[in-house]
Structure 1
């Protein structure tokens, strides 16, 4: 994909996440993906995303910075939300979180084949339990 196509494609992925529409993830995620150093299936990724959306119904990903390099994507995203169910071992209290996530992706044949993300989960837990 050309950079402008890759940018548009990635922003459609984020729009689907923000719409909480996981039904079309086969457009974005290959059947088998290297995620965080482990081989997983698209279904595994969708299950994790679905669990987040279920526990944090207002979860939102805001792209702050997006860098493209051939088949690679690096992104800085702000994640916000307010859990309404027990999540990450924390009972819902009405507390919200706002954290920065950094993600690196590799795309092949128009779908993610590698997905790696990093966020400060300690800071998120601090915000949720403050």
Structure 2
């Protein structure tokens, strides 16, 4: 696929699945054996497979039902697309053991996607989860030894 086509797949993944709350459309944009790497290796297990990714989407959506992601920049080369994004949402469901706070939060990240055959087959996530946790009342600084 052409570079612009790869960027369009990522753009549509965000718009049609995340922002439109349509996790059932993931298979249109993501390969069956997708491998998602967390931003901090070892902090969370990798997510492998479309079903596991769909489950993760539903879990995060339960924490932030009004989640919206704005794509700030998309850069691509060969089979890779990098996306700089900003997310907003309201914490109305449990997140990482934190009960809902009602806090409206905003955080950012940069993800890298590898595509093959017009679908995302590998995804490296990197977001400012520490800042997100801070906004919902988790004192992460005191948790660091």
When the two structures are superposed, what TM-score results if normalisation uses the length of structure 1?
A: 0.92
Equivalent pair of 1:32/1:39 in contact (CA under 8 Å): no
- For residue 8 of structure 1, report the CA deviation from its aligned partner: 2.1
- For residue 119 of structure 1, report the CA deviation from its aligned partner: 1.1
Unaligned residue ranges in structure 2 (runs of 5+) = 39-45, 139-145
Q: Does 1:80 align with 2:81?
A: no
- For residue 9 of structure 1, report the CA deviation from its aligned partner: 2.1
Q: 1:20 to 1:70 in 2, by over 3 A?
A: same
Residue 41 of structure 2 corresponds to which residue in structure 1?
A: none
Equivalent pair of 2:9/2:119 in contact (CA under 8 Å): no
Q: Does 1:126 align with 2:127?
A: no
Q: Which runs of 4+ in 1 moved over 6 A?
A: none
Unaligned residue ranges in structure 1 (runs of 5+) = none
Residue 28 of structure 1 corresponds to which residue in structure 2?
A: 29
Query: What secondary structure sits across from 1:34 in the alignment?
Result: strand
Q: Cα RMSD between the aligned structures?
A: 1.6
- For residue 39 of structure 1, report the CA deviation from its aligned partner: 6.5
2:115 to 102, 107, 110: 107
Residue 14 of structure 1 corresponds to which residue in structure 2?
A: 14
Query: How many equivalent pairs are there?
Result: 130
Which has the larger share of strand? 1
When the two structures are superposed, what TM-score results if normalisation uses the length of structure 2?
A: 0.83
Q: 1:39 to 1:87 in 2, by over 3 A?
A: closer
Residue 4 of structure 2 corresponds to which residue in structure 1?
A: 4
Query: What secondary structure sits across from 1:5 in the alignment?
Result: helix
